[in-house]
Structure 1
Amino acid sequence: MNKIWWKILGSVLVLYTAIAGLLSGVPHLAILNETIRNLYFHVPMWFAMLTLFSISVFYSVKYLLYGKESDDIRAIESVNVGIIFSILGLITGAVWAKFTWGQFWSFDVKQNFTAVAILLYFAYLVLRNAIDEQQKRAKISAIYNIFAFPMMVVLIMVLPRLSDSLHPGNGGNPGFNSYDLDSRMRAVLYPAFIGWSIIGYWIYTIRFRIRTIENKQNS
Structure 2
Amino acid sequence: MTKNWWKLLAVVFIIYTIIAGLLFKVPHLAILHESIRNLYFHVPMWFTMIMLFLSSVIYSVKYLKSGNEQDDLRAVEGVNVGVIFGILGLLTGSLWAKFTWGTWWTTDPKLNSALIAILIYLAYLVLRGSLDEEQKRARIGAVYNIFAFPVMIVLVFVLPRMTDSLHPGNGGNPGFGSYDLDRNMRMVFYPACIGWILIGFWIKQLRFRIRKMENYFLSK
Query: TM class by shorter-chain length?
Result: over 0.9
**Partner of 1:116 in structure 2?**
116
Q: CA deviation at 1:3?
A: 2.0
2:68 is matched with which residue?
A: 68
Opposite residue 197 of structure 1, the aligned amino acid is I
Q: Secondary structure at the match of 1:78?
A: helix
Structure 2 equivalent of residue 202 of structure 1: 202
Quote the Cα distance in structure 1 between the aligned partners of 2:23 and 2:192: 15
Amino acid in the other structure paired with 2:203: I
Find out whether 1:57 has 2:57 as its counterpart.
yes
Q: Give the superposition deviation at 1:199.
A: 0.4
Following the alignment from structure 1 to structure 2, what is the Cα–Cα distance between the partners of residues 9 and 180? 27
* Residue 137 of structure 1: aligned partner: 137
In the alignment, structure 1 residue 211 sits paired with structure 2 residue 211: yes
Letter in 2 for 1:97: A
Q: Which residue type is aligned with residue 185 of structure 2?
A: M
Unaligned runs of 5+ in 2: none
Q: Distance in 2 between matches of 1:176 and 1:213?
A: 44
The amino acid that maps onto 1:180 is D
| Structure 1: distance between partners of 2:35 and 2:93 | 11
Q: Deviations over 1:16-43 (max 9, x none)?
A: 0111000000001000000000000000
Give the deviation of 1:133 after TM superposition: 0.4
Deviation at 1:2, TM superposition (A): 1.1
Partner deviation per Cα, 1:183-219 (whole Å, 9 max, x = no partner): 1000100011100000000000000000001001001
Q: Mark the runs of 5 or more structure 1 residues left unpaired by the alignment.
A: none
The structure 1 segments of at least 4 consecutive aligned residues displaced by more than 3 Å after TM superposition are none
Count of residue correspondences: 219
Write the distance in 1 (CA, Å) between the matches of 2:189 and 2:107: 27
* Map 1:28-177 → 2, pairs under 5 A: 28-177=28-177
CA distance in 1, matches of 2:149, 2:169: 22
RMSD: 0.5
- 1:185 maps to a residue whose letter is M
1:117-164 CA distance string (max 9 Å, x none): 000000000100111100000000000000000000100001000000
Counterpart Cα distance in 1 of 2:13 and 2:197: 10
Structure 1 distance, partners of 2:77, 2:218, is 18
Secondary structure of 1:173's counterpart equals coil
Query: What SS class does the counterpart of residue 89 from structure 1 fall into?
Result: helix
Using structure 2 for the length normalisation, give the TM-score. Answer: 0.99
Q: How far apart, CA to CA, are the structure 1 residues paired with 2:6 and 2:113?
A: 34
CA distance in 1, matches of 2:90, 2:72: 27
Aligned pair 1:179/2:144, yes or no? no
